Amino acid sequence: MEYRALGKTGMQVSALSFGASSLGGVFHDVDERTGIRAVRTALDLGINLIDVSPYYGLTKAETVLGRALAGLPRERYFLATKCGRYGAEDFDFSAERVTKSVDESLSRLGVEYLDIIQVHDMEFGDIRQIVGETIPALLRIKDRGKARFVGITCLPLAMFVRAVEQFPAGTIDTILSYCHYELNDTSLLDVLPPMEQRGIGVINASPLGMGLLSLRGTPPWHPAPDEVKERCRRAAEHCREKHSNIIKLAVQYSLSEPRVATTLVGTASPENIASNVAWAAEPIDRQLLDEVLEILKPVHNVTWHQGRSENN
């Protein structure tokens, strides 16, 4: 497993990390014992960063993860969770709620501190409140020793830049971006320079585009435009015709950018975790990659909007 520096945090994180949303049954029902084995398998294979949120499975993911981590040495893993989003339409970025949320997460996870506490999906909030209230509250939590670092997450990339520019360097330690560094979308590259300048670590999530890059296809709720879904389906079919797997290619591609510290892969399957780790160590098929990128070229960087209109 390759390890990379996460900004200026001092954390050396595995290039492939564990997205624990799967433990909450976000994509399909998950047997708890299987999910716990997936976490343990990931750690045994060298993955050392786990990301979760109280929103995933409405606290189920944190609860199951806590059971998976029980009895393990705390120094064996880095742990990140989030605050601010608690349901599909349940957002509360107030200082009072995020402070309470951190204590609730610590209890469910069975740990005394978090490595990273992140504002979850801040595009659904008022940027003025997040800058003036939410992040200052998390900095106080950091001062109390309940979290080591503070991060932000959202879909609109420009919002990351807007947020970090309003604080001195070293205030925000990490960003978590999803669906913006994958085979069909590499727009995350546009915000890497300003993040590097401030020493902010970059976490990439959803290398499969929340199901876009798979033969299974997207779930009904997927917000991508139809043309994107169709092109991704063609790319997946092309990989199958070439006796390969678009999931393998997508994981390898997302790991190929060294300026991105780590890429989260969400699965509650021990077997899938083992496959992802094995793929990470193999060279990418350059010819197949070129063919797939050509198929996806008409929808390159085509995304969707979510959250408040002023944040997109």
Residues marked as catalytic: 56
Distances (CA, A) of 268 to 106, 134, 243, 285: 21, 31, 25, 27
List Cα–Cα distances, 61 to 52, 90, 194, in angstroms.
Answer: 7, 17, 32
Nearest to 55 by CA among 104, 127, 16: 104
| DSSP H helices in the chain | 32-44, 60-69, 95-109, 127-129, 135-143, 157-164, 192-197, 226-241, 246-254, 270-280, 286-296
| Helices 286-296 & 246-254 angle (0-180, nearest 10) | 90
